[in-house]
C-alpha cells in the first residue's frame, strides 16, 4: 500500500509533515489518531476494529500523534491539522504490546504488520501499517468478539452479510484460479507449448503467486531497471550461471546444459515467479530413482526466499501462495541424508503439494513450508519431514 509515493511501512517524517502542511484528509487507507489506548478491553477492541477495517479494505496506516483540524462547529474534520506527538515511556515495549495484541486477537493473522515510531519535529509519532489480505476476511476475536469491519473514506463500519458472502466467494475464486494456473502450466510445459527445449523426463515446479492477483499486470517487464534486476537475480535452482530471454509471459532465465533447458525461472507480468528443474530426481546404482528430500527442501526454501525478495523489490507485496508440483513420481522414493529408502515408494504419477501461505515479508519461509514438506515425505512412507524437530522447528543441521 502506497502513501505519498512511498510504501506505508516506509513513511517517515517528511511524509508526515506533507500530510499536515497539505491538509490531507483521512481515506480508506489512512487513519489519524491523537492517541491510542490498549489497557482496557473496550479500548483494545476499538483499536483492533480500526486495524482490521484497514486490512479488510485496501490495507493502510494508522498514524498516532496527529490532531485533526476542527470545522466551524469545532468538530473533527478528518483533515490532518497538527503533529502533537504520542509520548510513551518505553517505546519498544509498547510496540511489542501492539504486535502481540494484533496477532492474538485477529483471525486470520494479519499480514505485513509494521509498528514503529518516527520523530517529527522533536515529537514521536507512531505508525501502524498493515497490508491488504486478499483472502478470508479478518475477524476481531478479543473477548469472544466475532466482528468483521471494513473502512470507507473516513471511518470504519461493520460488514454486512452481502459483503461477507462476497469476501468468502472471492477467496474461493482465487483458489480456483490458483488450481487452474497450476494445471495450465503443467500442461504447457509438458506438451512443449511453453518452450520446446525443456527436459521433461522428470519435472519439478515451484510457483510463488501474489495472493488474489493472477492476471493483473503488476511487473513492468519493459522497464529497463526492473528487467535488469530480474535478469541478474533470478537464479535457477541448479547451476551456477544462466542465460535469459524475454518471452510471451515476461522474462525467463535458464540453465541450458548442453543445449537442453534443465532449469529455468519465469517471471510473469502478474508477479508470479515460477521455478522449474528436471534435476530433482536422482538415479541410484541398481536403477532406483529417488528424490533427496533435504536437497529438495533447501532448494525450495532458498528459491522461495529469493522470489519473495524479488517481488518486494519490484513493488509486489505479500501475501503470497507457494505451490509445489512434482511429476513422474510413481515408484520414486524420497530419501533422507543417508540415502536410505523409506517404508515405501510414491504410488501417484504426480504429487501436487498443498499450498503454502506467506502472510508477509517477515514470515519464516522454512517454517511456513513444513506442512507441505511433511506431505511429500508421508507419500514415501515417513511420518513427516526429518528436517524438523519434535517441536516443529527446523533443525540447525538441516540447512547444510
Cell 512434482 belongs to residue: 326
Q: What phi and psi values does residue 99 have, to the nearest 5 degrees?
A: -60, -45
pLDDT value of residue 379: 94
pLDDT value of residue 105: 95
Strand 333-335 and strand 149-151: the pairing is unpaired
Domain residues for 224?
197-399
pLDDT value of residue 241: 81
Sheet with strand 289-292: strands edge to edge: 281-283, 289-292, 333-335
Tell me: cis bond preceding 382? Omega within 30 of 0 counts: no
Domain shared by 138 and 221, yes or no: no
pLDDT value of residue 286: 66
Q: Mean pLDDT by 10-residue block, N- to C-terminus, for the chain (400 residues)?
A: 72 91 92 94 96 92 92 81 92 95 91 88 93 82 93 91 87 88 96 92 94 77 91 90 92 84 94 95 77 94 95 84 95 76 79 87 86 94 91 84
Domain shared by 85 and 212, yes or no: no
Residue 350 forms beta bridges with which residues? 327
Is residue 342 a part of any domain in this protein? Answer: yes
pLDDT value of residue 313: 86
Domain shared by 259 and 129, yes or no: no
Is residue 192 a part of any domain in this protein? Answer: no
Domain shared by 205 and 313, yes or no: yes
Indicate the number of domains in the chain: 2
The Cα 184–Cα 193 span in angstroms is 11
Domain shared by 209 and 102, yes or no: no
The Cα 133–Cα 109 span in angstroms is 9
pLDDT value of residue 214: 74
Domain shared by 93 and 219, yes or no: no
Q: Are 251 and 227 in contact (CB under 8 A)?
A: yes
pLDDT value of residue 84: 94
Q: What phi and psi values does residue 235 have, to the nearest 5 degrees?
A: -90, 125
Q: Could you give the 3-state DSSP secondary structure of residue 400?
A: coil
Q: Which of 8, 136, 110 is nearest to 52 (CA)?
A: 110
Global pTM exceeds 0.75: no
Q: Which of 322, 274, 299 is nearest to 387 (CA)?
A: 299
Helices (H), 27-90: 41-55
Amino acid at each position: 500500500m502506497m502513501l505519498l509515493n512511498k510504501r506505508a511501512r516506509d513513511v517517515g517524517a517528511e511524509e508526515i509533515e506533507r500530510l499536515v502542511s497539505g491538509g490531507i484528509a483521512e481515506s480508506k487507507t489512512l487513519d489519524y489518531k491523537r492517541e491510542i489506548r490498549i489497557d482496557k478491553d473496550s479500548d483494545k477492541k476499538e483499536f483492533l476494529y480500526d486495524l482490521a477495517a484497514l486490512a479488510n479494505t485496501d490495507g493502510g496506516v494508522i498514524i498516532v500523534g496527529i490532531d485533526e483540524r476542527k470545522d466551524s462547529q469545532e468538530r473533527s474534520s478528518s483533515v490532518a491539522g497538527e503533529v502533537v506527538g504520542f509520548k510513551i515511556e518505553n517505546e519498544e515495549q509498547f510496540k511489542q504490546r501492539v504486535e502481540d495484541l494484533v496477532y492474538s486477537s485477529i483471525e486470520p493473522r494479519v499480514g505485513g504488520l509494521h509498528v514503529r515510531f518516527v520523530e517529527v519535529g522533536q515529537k514521536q509519532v507512531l505508525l501502524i501499517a498493515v497490508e491488504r489480505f486478499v483472502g478470508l476476511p479478518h475477524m476481531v476475536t478479543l473477548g469472544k468478539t466475532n466482528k468483521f469491519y471494513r473502512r470507507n473514506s473516513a471511518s470504519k463500519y461493520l460488514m454486512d452479510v452481502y459483503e461477507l458472502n462476497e469476501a468468502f466467494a472471492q477467496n474461493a475464486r482465487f483458489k480456483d484460479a490458483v488450481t487452474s494456473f497450476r494445471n495450465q502450466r503443467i500442461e504447457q510445459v509438458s506438451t512443449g507449448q511453453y518452450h520446446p527445449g525443456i527436459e521433461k523426463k522428470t519435472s519439478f515446479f515451484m510457483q510463488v503467486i501474489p495472493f488474489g492477483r493472477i492476471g493483473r499486470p503488476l511487473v513492468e517487464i519493459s522497464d529497463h531497471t526492473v528487467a535488469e534486476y530480474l535478469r541478474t537475480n533470478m537464479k535457477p535452482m541448479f547451476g551456477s550461471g544462466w542465460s535469459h530471454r524475454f518471452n510471451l509471459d515476461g522474462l525467463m532465465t535458464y540453465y541450458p546444459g548442453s543445449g537442453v533447458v534443465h532449469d529455468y525461472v519465469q517471471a510473469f507480468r502478474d508477479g508470479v515467479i515460477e521455478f522449474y528443474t528436471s534435476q530433482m530426481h536422482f538415479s541410484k546404482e541398481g536403477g532406483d530413482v529417488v528424490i533427496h528430500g533435504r536437497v529438495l527442501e533447501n532448494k525450495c526454501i532458498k528459491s522461495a526466499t529469493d522470489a519473495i525478495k524479488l517481488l518486494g523489490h519490484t513493488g509486489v507485496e505479500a501475501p503470497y501462495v507457494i505451490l509445489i508440483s512434482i511429476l513422474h513420481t510413481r515408484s520414486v522414493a524420497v530419501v533422507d541424508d543417508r540415502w536410505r529408502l523409506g517404508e515405501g515408494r510414491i504410488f501417484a504419477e504426480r504429487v501436487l503439494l498443498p499450498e503454502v501461505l506467506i502472510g508477509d515479508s517477515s514470515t519464516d519461509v522454512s517454517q511456513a513450508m513444513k506442512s507441505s514438506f511433511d506431505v511429500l515425505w508421508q507419500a514415501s512412507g515417513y511420518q513427516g519431514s526429518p528436517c524438523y524437530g519434535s517441536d516443529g522447528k527446523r533443525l540447525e543441521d538441516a540447512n547444510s
